[in-house]
Amino acid sequence: AQTVTQSQPEMSVQEAETVTLSCTYDTSESDYYLFWYKQPPSRQMILVIRQEAYKQQNATENRFSVNFQKAAKSFSLKISDSQLGDAAMYFCAYRSQGYSGGGADGLTFGKGTHLIIQP
Amino acid sequence: DGGITQSPKYLFRKEGQNVTLSCEQNLNHDAMYWYRQDPGQGLRLIYYSQIVNDFQKGDIAEGYSVSREKKESFPLTVTSAQKNPTAFYLCASSLLARGNSPLHFGNGTRLTVT
């Protein structure tokens, strides 16, 4: 079974600065997908960014980018120019490609990192 | 607008009572999921369904039951056999039950059992 580890329970960053959230995962599969979700105080889960394991290029969505290191099984999230609205819990998640039936059970989540933005 | 509706937002029950949490989606998604969220635990999978009339147990299915009679609906019943039912419950759906289909989430139901 896959596991996802987020080693930083809480991170703090000054507004307008850059912060990197860490995520590592354990899998024996070669094809899979990785996601970062944001959960603000409203508790709504919002997709931030996703990465296909077969792509070498790191995904980018505006101020959010990832550093995907497949060999190291690492998938960190970088937030540039942090804004007060970025304050939230951030969850890293893994999903199997599904060729052999995997992935049907949705995403495996890490325990989350609480991001605090200091004004 | 398409989305996932969970109701109610807050639910209070006495110990020993069964309670059903509603989840409806109008995204025409095949797959639906129920997750439980506890402080410091992330999201843990309770049940999932790939298609109508089919569902599978997740990691923490004991004390829960589901049905999938319609594509749009995936209600979760928390039975009196669930030892620690107080939690935040999230329903989700995805277009496909595999691959890069992201999960779309409802706003959640906070269940308190006393």
The DSSP secondary structure of B6-58, one letter per residue, reads EE-SEEEE-TT--EEEEEEE-S--SEEEEEEEETTTEEEEEEEESSTT--EE-
Tell me what pLDDT residue B99 has: 73
**Which of B45, B90, B105 is the closest to A105 by Cβ?**
B45
Token pair recorded at residue B73: 């609906």
What residues form DSSP beta bridges with B77?
A: B20, B65
Cβ-based contacts of A106 with chain B (< 8 Å): 31, 33, 35, 45, 48, 58, 92, 94, 103
Task: Kindly state whether B5 is in contact with chain A, defined as any CB-CB distance less than 8 angstroms.
Answer: no
- CA nearest neighbour of B87 among B17, B37, B14, B42: B37
Amino acid at B8: P
What would the pLDDT profile of A84-110 be if each residue is shown by its tens digit? 999 999 999 999 876 555 556 788 999
- Is pLDDT of B98 > 80? no
Paired tokens of B92: 């989700």
3-state secondary structure of A85: helix
- Give per-residue pLDDT as tens, B26-74: 999 999 999 999 988 889 999 999 889 999 999 899 999 999 999 999 9
Q: Give the pLDDT of residue B110.
A: 96
Nearest one of B92, B82, B90 to B110, comparing CA atoms: B90
Using alpha carbons, select from B111, B100, B96 the residue that is nearest to residue B33.
B96
Residue with tokens 């969505």: A61
Question: Which of B105, B61, B106, B93 has the alpha carbon at shortest distance from A106?
Answer: B93
Q: Which residue among A33, A105, A112 places its CB closest to the CB of B100?
A: A33
